[in-house]
Structure 1
């Protein structure tokens, strides 16, 4: 009988948020390379030129990055924090499901960005609002029966401990 990966516990919120923060740090490198490529190919001389196209390009690059790595189970940050992405049965996620998760993961940022724009907040106020929303969104995972983030629940994915998954795989 194959091992039951669906029974793996969810990593702690602290560990998932540390991974989330580390992922953000690593994304600086992705942004730097992608932005350099965009600016070079589009011959952009001023940061305010081609801003919408640049943001759209970065959205696509982020999508490719996350969908690629999530379909393989882990990003570099997830490997560092021993976290793996699976479907609800504990199997690797498809690229389609990874894309759905990528789209839904923007719930971390879109509500405060939209509110900041609608309320015409300055940068400081927008950062406070974003920080508050991120904390609320993370804490809301405590209300999920499996303590998963809600975008994972909506996408049909879950985060599990990769160490426990590898131990379970060896036993099976």
Structure 2
């Protein structure tokens, strides 16, 4: 069954990728903050200040999980608050529900989880938009949301 077509055009893959690259900046800042907290906690637990966390240890996996959750909190709060992250604003991109309204928290969480899986698979879910009739990505389809391009504001 075809989903209803949004009143605005679906965002092209190039704009989506540009926004994703731009959104790496606040994400990296959050990751650095989490790393500082982990480093301080690691040092306070009796380890040397120059001792590294063992590769593939439970602590390292916990740090990755915390970084992923912080990034998700940033994305979900941004999408829920105004439909846009910092990286989406310069390209006038906005996440909306399939009906054009504000998506609920569940749909946004699904969007983030499927989008993350898509990135782990070398962006396959993003590249899918090139062959999709409605130019939708995997996370658009799975969550029932759309990313649209807003019109330019009149001066």
| TM-score relative to the length of structure 1 | 0.71
User: Gaps (5+ residues) in structure 2?
Assistant: none
- CA deviation map 1:48-85 (0-9, x unaligned): 24212211211221221111111121100011221000
Distance 1:80 1:34, change over 3 A: farther
Aligned equivalent of 1:56, options 48, 52, 65: 65
Matches within 5 A, 1:8-157: 8-43=8-43, 45=49, 46-49=51-54, 50-72=59-81, 73-111=83-121, 133-134=122-123, 136-157=124-145
In angstroms, what is the RMSD of aligned CA positions? 2.5
Contact kept, 8 Å, 2:111 with 2:143, in 1: the verdict is yes
Shift of 1:157: 0.6
* Whole-angstrom CA distance in 1 between matches of 2:84 and 2:76: 10
Higher percent of residues as helix:
1
Distance 1:47 1:33, change over 3 A: same
- CA deviation map 1:78-128 (0-9, x unaligned): 1122100001011111122111111111222333xxxxxxxxxxxxxxxxx
| TM-score relative to the length of structure 2 | 0.78
